[in-house]
Amino acid sequence: MVKVTVCGAAGGIGQPLSLLLKQSPRISHLSLYDIVNTPGVAADLSHINTQSKVTGHVGNEQLKEAIEGSDVVVIPAGVPRKPGMTRDDLFKINASIVRDLATAAAKYAPKAFMCIISNPVNSTVPIVAEVFKKHGVYDPRRIFGVTTLDIVRASTFIGGLIGAEPSTVACKVVGGHSGHTILPLISQVPGASGKLTPEQIEKVTNRIQFGGDEVVKAKNGAGSATLSMAYAGARFALNLVEAAFFGKSIVECTYVQLDADKQGAQDTKRVIGNELQYFSVPVALGPNGVESILPIGSLSSFEQSLFSKAVAELKGNIAKGTNFVAESKL
Ligand SMILES: NC(=O)C1=CN([C@@H]2O[C@H](COP(=O)(O)OP(=O)(O)OC[C@H]3O[C@@H](n4cnc5c(N)ncnc54)[C@H](O)[C@@H]3O)[C@@H](O)[C@H]2O)C=CC1
Ligand SMILES: O=C([O-])CC(=O)C(=O)O
C-alpha cells in the first residue's frame, strides 16, 4: 500500500503529473491537494480504470487529511516564472508555500519521502530540510530536489545531436537547478564526446542549462515547463517508489543533502570543496531513500571550468533557504 500525495495538484504540472501517477499500479492511494479545484481534478481522475483510490482535498483545513500517512509527498505548488524572471525571483512567494507544506508533512507524514519540484529548487530543498529539523524528524536520506527534467533535456538534446534514440542517452546532470548551477557531464556519455566538437559541447551544455528559459520564452507569459516537468516528476516519483517499496535498484541524479551519505559524498567534495551542503549527485535509491551517493566521475577541463560559477551561486541559494526558516516562526 503506497500513498502518494501531490501538493499543488490542480496546477499546470500538478494535473498531468497526477494523471501519470494514476497510471501506476504501484500506487494504492493518490491524494490530491491544492488551494483550489482539487475536487474536480480528483473526480475526473478517479474515473480512470486503474486500481488506485483518488481523493481530492482543498484548502488548508483539509491539508492534514490530504497528507496524513503519506509515503511520498510530491510538491509542485507555487508560482512559475514569466519571461525576464529568474527562478530566484520566485523565492518571495514560493518559500512560504513550501515551508508551510513541509510543516504539515513534518507533523502528519514525518517519514514520507519528500520530492520538491517548486522553484527555486536550490533554496526550497534546504527550506524543507530546515523545517524537518525544527520538528525533530529530519532524515537527509528522505528529502529530494527533483532535477530530473535537466536529465531528460540532456538526453533529448544530446540524442538529437549524435543521432541516437534520446531515451538511450544517459547523461549525469549534477549541481543545482538553475542556469549556471546545472552541470551536464557530457564527457561521460558513451559515444557523445567523440562525435561532438568542443563548440557543439559548449552550445548543448548551455541549452541544457537554460532549457527552462526556452520554454518560458515560448509560453510568452503563460508559465514555464509543465508537461515535460510532469513527465520528469512522474519518472522520479515512480522510480523512488520502485526502489523504496519494491526492491528495484535505481540510480538517479537528484539534489540532496550531501550528509545523506557522508562517505559517498567524499568524491563530490573533492571537486566542489566542503562549502556546499546540497548538490545534485547520482544517488542509489532504496528502502531508506538515499542508500548511497555515487561518484560524479571524472570531468573534462570544460566541465571543471563550469563548477566554480555553480558553487558560488548555489552557496547563496542554499543560505537563503536556510536563513528563511531560521527567521520564520514555526
Ligand atoms: N523542478 C523543476 O524542474 C521545475 C519546477 N517548476 C516549478 O514548479 C512550480 C509549479 O509550476 P506550475 O505547475 O507551472 O504552476 P501553476 O501556477 O500552474 O500551478 C501551481 C499550483 O500550486 C497551487 N498552490 C499555490 N499555493 C499553494 C499552497 N499553499 N498549497 C498547495 N497548492 C498551492 C496553485 O493553486 C496551482 O494550482 C513553480 O514553482 C515552477 O517554477 C516548473 C518546472 C520545472
Ligand atoms: O524554467 C523554469 O522556471 C521552470 C523550470 O525549472 C524548468 O523548466 O527547468
Query: pLDDT by residue for the chain (330 residues), tens digit each?
Result: 999 999 999 999 999 999 999 999 999 999 999 999 999 999 999 999 999 999 999 999 999 999 999 999 999 999 999 999 999 999 999 999 999 999 999 999 999 999 999 999 999 999 999 999 999 999 999 999 999 999 999 999 999 999 999 999 999 999 999 999 999 999 999 989 889 999 999 999 999 999 999 999 999 999 999 999 999 999 999 999 999 999 999 999 999 999 999 999 999 999 999 999 999 999 999 999 999 999 999 999 999 999 988 999 999 999 999 999 999 988
Say how many Å lie between the CA of residue 39 and the centre of ligand 2.
Answer: 27
Name which residue sits closest to atom 5 of ligand 2, judged by CA.
212
Region of 220 (left: φ > 0; alpha: ψ -120 to 50; beta: rest) is left
Residue 60, SS3 per DSSP = helix
CA dist list (Å): 154 to 107, 170, 205: 37, 8, 8
**Is 160 one of the annotated binding-site residues?**
no
* Residue 28 DSSP class: S
Displacement of CA 290 from its chain's centroid (Å):
14
**Is 85 one of the annotated binding-site residues?**
no
**H/E element, 53:** strand 53-58
E strands present in 77-192? 113-116, 143-145, 173-175, 182-184
Atom of ligand 1 nearest to the CA of 90: 39
Pocket-forming residues, ligand 1, beta carbon under 6 Å: 7-8, 10-14, 33-36, 76-81, 90, 94, 97, 101, 117-119, 121, 146, 149, 177, 223-226, 229
Name which residue sits closest to atom 2 of ligand 2, judged by CA.
212
Atom of ligand 1 nearest to the CA of 223: 14
Measured from the alpha carbon of residue 214, the closest ligand is 2
Maximum Cα–Cα distance for the chain, whole Å? 57
Three cell numbers, residue 328:
520564520
**Is 13 one of the annotated binding-site residues?**
yes
Residue with cell 494523471: 19
Q: The pTM is what?
A: 0.98
Residue from 206, 216, 253 to probe ligand 2 pocket by mutation (most atoms less than 8 Å from CB) = 216
